[in-house]
Amino acid sequence: MDKGTLRTTCDPDEAVLSSDVTFITVGTPNKEDGSIDLKYVLEASNMIGKALRRKNEWHLIVVKSTVVPRTIENFVRKAIEEASGKVAFKGFGLAVNPEFLKEGSAIEDFMKPDRIVIGANDEKSMRVLEEIYSSFDCPKLATNINTAELMKYANNAFLAMKVSFINMMGNLCEKLPGTDVEVIAKGIGFDCRIGPLFLRAGAGWGGSCWPKDLKALANFGKNTNVRLPLIEATLEINENQPYRVIELAEELLNSLKLRKISVLGLAFKPNTDDIREAVSIKIVKALLDRGAKVSVYDPAAIKNVRQIFDNRISYANSALECIKDSECAMIITEWDEFRELKPEDYARLMKRPILIDGRRIYNTKEYTRYVKIKAIGLGETCPSN
C-alpha cells in the first residue's frame, strides 16, 4: 500500500482492463445432494468474459475457488468463451491455483505458504503464474488443471480423515478403563510416517471447508462411478461425534430433562465467530430435544448463534456467568479463556459440578478433587469425592 500498487474497485470491467491476471476467489457452497454450486464461479466468469470483449491483449484467469475436476474444462472455459467471444489459450489463459489458507490466519498463510500449487494446460499460463509466485520461498508444484482441482479436496479429506480416525480410536478408549487416546495419539505421532498434527480427539470438526469439501468429493466420486469409502466413513464418524458429548453427560446425569446445561464455546474453532457446520449447533439442538435448559457462552459467536436459537436458550456474557447454577458444563470450543478457568470455579459456581471436556483442554486428574469429569477419548470416569 505504501508503494501505491494496490487499488480497489467495485467495477469488474475496470479490474480486468487495468490488469494482466484475474483471480476468481468466490465461494462454492454445497447443493442439497452435496455437489458444489457453481453459480458464483460462473457469475464471475461471465463478468470477466464480458470485460475481455473490450480488451485486445491476452489475459490470464486463475481459479482459486475450490472446484471439482473438470470444472474449468467443462464450465469456466465455456462461460468465458461465450461472454468474451475469444478462444481459450489463444485470447486468454486459464489456470488453477488452489488456496490452502486457514481461517483466522489467512494473511500469514498467504505470505508464508508451505507450498504453492499451479495447474495449467498451456505453457504461457503456467509461465505467467510461476512468475507471479517467483519471490515466494516455498516448494512449488506445477501440474495440469484437473490434478490441481483435485489437490485441494485430497488435502482437506486427508486432514479430516486423521481427525476422524483419532476420534474413532477415542471412542474405543472410552470403553477401556485407564486408556487415554491422547497418549495413543502422542505415541503414533512419533512415527515420522504419521506425524503428530491433526491427532487431537474431540467433539468433531466443522467450519466452512472440510464438511463442504468432503461432501462434494463424495458426490463427485459417486457421479464418476468411483466409490470413496474412506470419505464416507470420515463423514459418518464426524456426524456422530458431537452426540458422544451428550452421551457422556447422560452417563452422569441419566436424564437431561429440565437440567441446566452450560455450553462453553460455539464457534467451530477458536479465534473466529464462524459457526458454519459447528458441532455446537448440533449439541445445543440435541440438548433442547432432550428437554434441557441451555445456557451458552462464546467470546465471539454469540450474535450468530442467537440468529438460530433466538430465545430458546440463554446467552451469558462470560464463562463464569454461563456455568453459574448449572448441573453440567460442556467444553465445545478450545478458547484460551476456558483454559484459565480453575476447577474451584466450577465447584464454587455450579449447582452440580459435572464437566464434560469435549476438547481435552483440562488435566482430568487435577479436576477430580473438585468436579465429576468425563473427557472425550478417556477410558475412565473421574468423580469428585
Structural domains of the chain sorted by starting position, each given as residue range(s) with its CATH number in brackets: 12-143 (3.40.50.720), 171-385 (3.40.50.720)
Task: Retrieve residue 235's grid coordinates.
Answer: 463423514
Nearest alpha-carbon partner for 373 in 363, 361, 383 = 383
Catalytic residue chosen out of the listed positions 138, 173, 209, 322: 209
Percent residues over pLDDT 70 in the chain = 98
DSSP code of residue 372: E
Structure confidence at residue 73 as a pLDDT band (50, 70, 90): very high
pLDDT in tens, 351-366: 999 999 999 999 999 9
**pLDDT tens-digit series, residues 136-180:** 999 999 999 999 999 999 999 999 999 999 999 999 999 999 999
Q: In the prediction, which pLDDT does 1 show?
A: 60
pLDDT of amino acid 106: 77
209 is annotated as an active-site residue: yes
Query: Greater confidence, 105 or 78?
Result: 78
Residue 385 scores a pLDDT above 60: no
Identify which of 291, 298, 293 has the alpha carbon closest to the alpha carbon of residue 314. Answer: 293
Read off the pLDDT of residues 232-267 as tens digits, 9 standing for 90 and up.
999 999 999 999 999 999 999 999 999 999 999 999
Distances from the Cα of 58 to the Cαs of 7, 87, 238, in angstroms? 21, 11, 46
Confidence of residue 104 (pLDDT cuts 50, 70, 90): confident
**Nine-digit cell string for 345:** 470455579
- Euclidean distance between CA atoms 362 and 103, whole angstroms: 25
Cα-based distances in Å from 38 to 23, 151, 364: 16, 18, 47
- Is a pLDDT exceeding 70 seen at residue 382? no
Please check the confidence at residue 5 and state whether its pLDDT lies above 90: no
**pLDDT at 332 > cutoff 80:** yes
Mean pLDDT score across all residues of the chain = 95
Lowest mean pLDDT among 64-78, 230-244, 272-286, 369-383: 369-383
Yes or no: say if 120 and 95 are a contact pair by the CB < 8 Å rule. Answer: yes
Interatomic CA distance for residues 311 and 238, integer angstroms: 28
pLDDT, one tens digit per residue, over 188-204 is: 999 999 999 999 999 99
- Split at pLDDT 50, 70, 90, the class of 384 is low
